[in-house]
Structure 1
Amino acid sequence: MTSRRAVVIGGGVSGLATACLLARDGHQVTLLERSEHFGGRAGVWRHQGFTFDTGPSWYLMPEVFEHFYRLMGTSTREQFDLVSLHPAYRVFPEPDGIAHSSSFDVRSGPESAAALFESIEPGAGRRLRRYLASASRAYHAAVDSFLYNPFASWRGLLSRRVLTAAPAVLPLLTRSLWAFIARRFADNRLRQVLGYPAVFLGTSPFEAPALYHLMSHLDLVDGVRYPSGGFTRVVESLVDLARAHGVDMRTNTDVVSIETQAGEARAVEYVLDGRTFRIPASTVVSAIDEHHTEQILLDAAARSYPASRWRRQVTGPSAVLLMLGVEGEIPQLPHHSLFFARDWHQNFDAIFGSRQRVPDPASLYVCKPSATDDVAPPGHESLFVLVPLPADTSIGHGGRDMAADERVAEIADRAIAQISTWANIPDLAERIVLRKTVGPADFEQQYNSFRGSALGPAHTLRQSAFLRGVTASRRVSGLYYAGATTVPGVGLPMCLISAELVLKNVRGDTSPGPLEVS
């Protein structure tokens, strides 16, 4: 067995990125993906001339993407074309005694955002400029000193770089994001614009620490972009880079165990066409759901966490996803739209509270990529709709047309009616010519997702940064974790950073910031 042989489990973005970095670093890498296609949650569905990204659809933190591709000897410009979105998104607040929502557009850039806030709440423009300056400071501190930090020991908290960044971060850990926002802005719509990024983190603005106001740097300062061809272009670029660097790429390979001996990783076993195969390896990277790895693939003695950890975990939301092909144009919707229910306390309590239920009305996200890209037949539009829900697999499976489980179908029907009413598209339901849904049980079935979550653990204070999990196993030398369910967290940029954290751990590099590009 070669000491440089590595096996990566999972061909989502984090697995692909990890395979790329390890292969470029000289390892002999095999990548095992359970399904027919690479990409994981960042998948694609094509049917009857329509194309849908089935997962991530916001291109944020562009410098993280650029840094990864530079590590691979290329650049984002060489890999795909990015389009800046104007507006960044449209907001549809819940109608108040009128037939449809009084929507407004959010445009990126501090001055544009400040002008919008000022038009809604006098004095809010000046306060927003200060808010965004703070968000930018916190964001840059997080990237420079925390997100890329392996925190291999407590010494990682005491490096000069971390201590210098601490004043921009630590005071923001003692209050909630919503409390931080509410002290500065009175209008509920403006509070929601600043609080909604908590959903990207799989949590509630009432539970996320105020540190996460840094997320407003992404959409209101830095801007929102879209890769032409969809996010599948990002996945395709990673697949191409992995193959170019000699990664052995295998699909339809269902990993059933990680073999350890004397506290060291030894091999991975997988099933293909009913036969079991074994690959020796000294480095194993699990880029799949951490709970599945710990509780199913590893023996009890090799697990980093006791079973009680999973009982206590605050799980991020699940979702019903809708992919809709619609006849005719829909000018009421730009590329991104957010539909905000008025009572967010009730909305988030339904998802995260002690009596979990489907929110009614729900706060929805709608993507119309056909506003920007050629992803629908002539004279048609593609719509992707996300309805956040409790992580509850009993809600059921989705399916093609009306072949979904009853609750999933009801949630989808209600979402379509809500979009139709709030956005003033009265004939939306009649114009749908293609419909596919995904439910919480599908996330569990397709991705072995714990509790059917769409995102992984919520970014509460106790599940953020180095408290979220580990990159290197606490029990098994040579075993590492990557992806949204471990550090640093949820989202495509975080998955790219998690891959770099694996490489740093393998190298024994404890530096707090991004690797130098050679």
Structure 2
Amino acid sequence: MKKVIVIGSGFSSLSAACYLAKAGFDVSLYEKNSTIGGRARQLKKQGFTFDIGPSWYWMPDIFEKFFNDFGKNTSDFYKLKKLNPAYKIFFTDDVITIGDCMDKICEEFERIENGSSKHLRTFISKAQDNYDIAINKIVLRPGISPLELVTKDTVLRVDQFFKTISQEVRKRFKNPKLISTLEFPVLFLGAKPSNTPSFYSFMNFADFGLGTWHPEGGMYEIIKAMKALAEELGVVIHVNAAIEKIEVTNRTTSAVVVNGKNIKADIIISGADYHHSETLLDKEYRQYSEKYWNKKTYAPSSLLFYVGFDKRLKNIEHHNLFFDTNFEKHAEEIYDNPQWPSEPLFYANFPSVTDKSMAPEECETGFFLVPIAPGLEDTRTLRNQYFDIIMNRFELRTNQVVKNNIIFKESFCINDFIEEYNSFKGNAYGMANTLTQTAFLRPGLKSKKVEDLYFTGQLTVPGPGVPPSLISGKLVSELIIKKHL
């Protein structure tokens, strides 16, 4: 039985470990931190529960397919609730509410721009076709050859790879608030809407068509479910086990060094940060130079705050976007001219609105996120300065005073992403899905220089986000199974 070592315990690592254990490999997983989950870990404090990382549950079909592959359902592990409304977007002079079905969303669009619902239905119908092609065909390919992208479906849509989401949206809608609402979902792909192929409108179908969900107890319930499944399949999980080196013998993986000990392996998969994983190899075995990594476009990093409030808050939903400043300007300060944003957009998440188990009685669990460029200077002073900026705007837009009701706040930013996850430049979401960084143009799942060394996660195929990470784990396991079984 071939011995596989998986580095890291995020969604992609757990996914790969499960598929390989099911196929009969002897799988051990090593996590440097004291708890598993990678960027999707959990913080519990004074009765408050926070998801440290991902907080949006989109594409429920992908999660369902993952568990179905093992003869299970998501409902065997956690309970899902569809959010209504899905989220609110705060502008300077209005609030847009995104309901839980197309009829409600169309009604809201009509309120803002007369006649826009007809355009919206056409746009989402096209986005649904793209979703079907992307999720059932393209995304399930391992990014080895450009020919993977050439199918009868994609050939018919080739223009959508050379037009951008921005062009597609602005052709149909004139109101800037509706434009921002439709351009927002591609931010999950980590690139500006003006740099993202219009084919990626499938994210709009994920949003409006499939809806936004909440697993009872928070996103960490998915990690707990995957851990239970992995262990049931025979995966052995080690925590507090940082990998110090990947050993190579005769250009083939042979072992890892963990806490000073050599542990033999036939196959190694790293779901840790790709750039960091390559630094665990001797230089001659690295595929990509520092210059390569420095030239790439990264998805944003984030300044995050976890805040416990001693009262219930008003005028909020589970998910809230604050687009009451200039969307384009903030995007430029992330991608074109990296700097701390002058007037940041931000996101606020209050899971206790939906799920009372996530906060003490009559309290609120608050998670705030400011997208920022990776690689910026990160100091305590800057964090505090930005907390004041977003809390002032939060109070103004939601028409309430909350600063005096803060029991505690904890923050997480670039230095923490580097420290906790060895994240390149402290990025939060991996590498952006721009046209020149799509599919086979991303760092490969399989090492070109070392036999039986593989990679998975958001810096490789298919890209950033939780559902793509689950798929990434499946893709890498299929390459291994194909070679060894």
Normalising TM by the smaller chain, what interval?
Answer: over 0.9
- Classify the secondary structure of the residue corresponding to 1:83: strand
The whole-number CA distance in structure 2 between the counterparts of 1:168 and 1:372 is 42
2:382 alignment counterpart: 407
Q: Tell me how far 1:465 sits from its aligned partner.
A: 2.1
1:258 maps to amino acid:
I
SS of 2:193's equivalent in the other structure is coil
Higher mean displacement: 109-118 or 59-68: 109-118
- Residue type of the alignment partner of 1:114: C
Cα displacement (A) at 1:326: 0.9
TM-score norm. by structure 2 comes to: 0.97
Native 8 Å contact 1:138 1:168 kept in 2:
no
Gaps of 5+ in 2: none
Residue 306 of structure 1 pairs with residue 298 of structure 2: no
Amino acid at match of 2:304: L
Residue 438 of structure 1 is matched in structure 2 by 412
Name the structure 2 match of 1:174: 162
**C-alpha displacement at 1:155, in angstroms?**
5.0
Distance 2:432 2:324 in 1: 21
The yes-or-no answer on 1:503 pairing with 2:477 is yes
Instruction: Indicate which of 6, 9, 18 corresponds to 1:8.
Output: 6
Equivalenced residues, count: 482
Say whether the 8 Å CA contact 1:137–1:168 is kept in structure 2.
Answer: no
**Residues 9 and 30 of structure 2 are in contact (CA less than 8 Å); yes or no, is this contact kept in structure 1?**
yes
Shift of 1:205: 1.2
1:280 pairs, out of 255, 264, 269, with 264
Equivalent in 113, 131, 135 of residue 121 of structure 1: 113
- 1:477 aligned onto 2:446: no
1:150-169 deviations in Å (ceiling 9; x for gaps): 143455345xxxx1221454
- 2:223 corresponds to which of 235, 238, 253: 235
Whether contact under 8 Å (1:341, 1:361) holds in the other structure is no
Once residues 222 and 310 of structure 1 are traced to their aligned partners in structure 2, the CA distance between those partners, rounded to angstroms, is 35
Q: Is this contact kept in 2: 1:258–1:297, CA < 8 A? A: yes
SS in 1 for 2:269: strand
Q: What secondary structure sits across from 1:435 in the alignment?
A: strand
**Aligned counterpart for 1:270 among listed residues 241, 253, 258:** 258
- Range with greater deviation from structure 2 (455-464 or 441-450): 455-464
Q: Which residue of 2 aligns with 1:363?
A: 345
Spell out structure 1 runs of 4+ moving beyond 3 A.
Answer: 151-158
- More divergent stretch after superposition (465-474 vs 80-89): 465-474
- The answer on whether the counterparts of 1:466 and 1:488 sit within 8 Å (CA) in structure 2 is no
Instruction: Report if the CA contact (8 A) 1:141-1:168 is conserved.
Output: no
Q: Specify the alignment match of 2:372 in structure 1.
A: 389
Q: Tell me the amino acid that sits aligned with residue 256 of structure 1.
A: E
Cα deviation, residue 112, structure 1 = 2.1
- Name the amino acid aligned to 1:283: I
Structure 2: how far apart are the matches of 1:48 and 1:153? Answer: 51
Q: Deviations over 1:305-354 (max 9, x none)?
A: 23321121111111110111112111311101111144222111111113
Which position in structure 2 is the counterpart of 1:87? 85
Whole-angstrom CA distance in 2 between matches of 1:338 and 1:230: 19
Matches within 5 A, 1:68-147: 68-93=66-91, 95=92, 101-147=93-139
The answer to which of 386-395 and 163-172 deviates more is 163-172
2:46 equivalent to 1:58? no
Quick one: which amino acid aligns to residue 440 of structure 1? Answer: I
What is the identity, as a one-letter code, of the residue corresponding to 1:46? K
On the 8 A contact 1:320/1:412 being kept in 2, the answer is: no
SS at match of 2:377: helix
- Structure 1, 208-217 or 5-14: larger mean CA deviation: 208-217
Q: Distance in 2 between matches of 1:167 and 1:103?
A: 40
Aligned residues of 2:144 and 2:440 also touching (Cα < 8 A) = no
In the aligned structure 1, how far is the partner of 2:144 from the partner of 2:326? 42
Question: 1:492 and 2:441 equivalent?
Answer: no
CA RMSD of aligned residues (A): 1.4
Q: Secondary structure at the match of 1:347?
A: helix
Alignment of 1:339 with 2:322, yes or no, is yes
Q: C-alpha displacement at 1:469, in angstroms? A: 2.1
Conserved 8 A contact 2:325-2:344: no
1:288–1:447 CA contact under 8 A, matched in 2: yes
Deviation of residue 109 (structure 1)?
Answer: 2.4
Q: In structure 1, list runs of 5 or more residues that go unmatched.
A: 96-100, 397-404, 510-518
Distance in 1 between residues matched to 2:348 and 2:57, nearest whole Å: 15
The AA in structure 1 aligned to 2:387 is A
Q: Distance in 2 between matches of 1:154 and 1:213?
A: 21
Shift of 1:198: 2.1
On the 8 A contact 2:315/2:398 being kept in 1, the answer is yes
Q: Shift of residue 381 of structure 1?
A: 0.5
Contact conserved, 1:201 with 1:458, CA < 8 A, in 2? yes
Cα distance in 2 between the residues matched to 1:152 and 1:508: 14
